[in-house]
Amino acid sequence: LAESGEDNIAFSNGSDYAANVELAQTQQVDNANVDGLQYVLAQAADEDGEADANNWVLLVLAAGHTLNDIKAEKLSGVAAPLITANDETVSAVLGATGNDIDLADVKVPVFADYVVAAALKNEAYAEKITAADLRNIEAGDPSPCGNGTIEIKRGIEVGHIFQLGDKYSEAMGCGVLNENGKHEILSMGCYGIGVSRVVAAAIEQNHDEHGIIWPDPIAPFKVALIPMNMHKSQRIMEAAEALYAELTAAGVEVLFDDRKERPGVMFKDMELVGIPHSIVIGERNLDEQLVEYKNRRSGEKSLLQLTEVTAFIGGL
């Protein structure tokens, strides 16, 4: 979840239920009150599922709710993609527009959202209304799983699952024998993961004012090795190169900062890059065979014996 995300995610505060707002189902209700109604006249579908320009279907929602096009397109008799009428057509088909529409006089099929259907169940024309899930779920709605209520936050989409059905398997004659020995065409699916989106999502969730804070499992390097003034000190250079060789031999991915830069620049750059762990080798600590360890996430610092660094990093 991230505020910079492009998707709205509905999730329960009482369970692990979660779904895109467009796909989350709303619950049927027995009783409801509505402050007003809104109407959408949608083009009907013929027997072949094609749009029928001469016939229409009326969709009714409570004022303030939002029509879910995906749900509407799945209704029997509604053309997909959804085609809605302009005011002129609405007036011609229904005899009125907006608040002047009288459901008692409507001659086209009527689908009403669950809330509206419950609110109108005692009206004389209620029998002409078909209750359906038409709207986007909203924060505060009961969770479809039956536990808790819905909260909505933005999220970054990092993967897709596609239901391919039998479109390709039938063309290829790809099937299996069922338990009765009968050949059945496979139902196919596939998925895709956006690697670059995973990286963006990870950074969005793991950063501070100084830069990235990579989670260990996906960090480009596990540890940054920062030798201070290495190019002015032979023993710093030798200690750094020896430690680098020891760490890499142990399978640790190391970013060795061997640039001719001031220590302040090196520290700032490493915070920006966000390597999870860093080892700083300096003259004073090296006198006692010590190095400084820093955890990028917590900011915690400690001194380690030079001979213990590889074991310590390997245990993180």
> Domain check: are 171 and 113 in the same one?
no
Locus of tokens 């400084």: 292
Per-residue model confidence (pLDDT) at position 15: 96
CB 185 within 8 A of CB 207: no
SS3 label, residue 121: coil
- The mean per-residue pLDDT over the stretch 243-264 comes to 96
Per-residue model confidence (pLDDT) at position 1: 78
> Domain check: are 258 and 163 in the same one?
no
Q: Which pLDDT band holds residue 296 (cuts at 50, 70, 90)?
A: very high
Contacts of 223 by beta carbon, 8 Å cutoff, 6+ apart: 247, 252, 253, 254, 255, 275, 276, 277, 278, 279, 313
Task: Report how many domains make up the chain.
Answer: 3
Q: Which of 144-158, 187-201, 240-254 has the highest mean pLDDT?
A: 240-254
- The mean per-residue pLDDT over the stretch 221-234 comes to 96
- The mean per-residue pLDDT over the stretch 44-63 comes to 94
Per-residue model confidence (pLDDT) at position 195: 85
> Domain check: are 94 and 188 in the same one?
no
Per-residue model confidence (pLDDT) at position 138: 96
Indicate if the pLDDT at residue 198 is higher than 90. Answer: no
Structural domain contains residue 202:
no
- The mean per-residue pLDDT over the stretch 48-56 comes to 91
Per-residue model confidence (pLDDT) at position 227: 97
Query: Where is pLDDT greater, at 213 or 159?
Result: 213
> Domain check: are 127 and 177 in the same one?
no
Q: What is the pTM of this model?
A: 0.66
The range of the structural domain enclosing residue 174 comes to 159-195
Structural domain contains residue 7:
no
Contacts of 219 by beta carbon, 8 Å cutoff, 6+ apart: 253, 274, 275, 276
> Domain check: are 247 and 288 in the same one?
yes
> Domain check: are 174 and 231 in the same one?
no
Pick the range with the lowest mean pLDDT from 130-144, 151-165, 236-250, 253-267.
151-165
- The mean per-residue pLDDT over the stretch 112-125 comes to 96
**Mean pLDDT, the chain, whole residue set:** 94
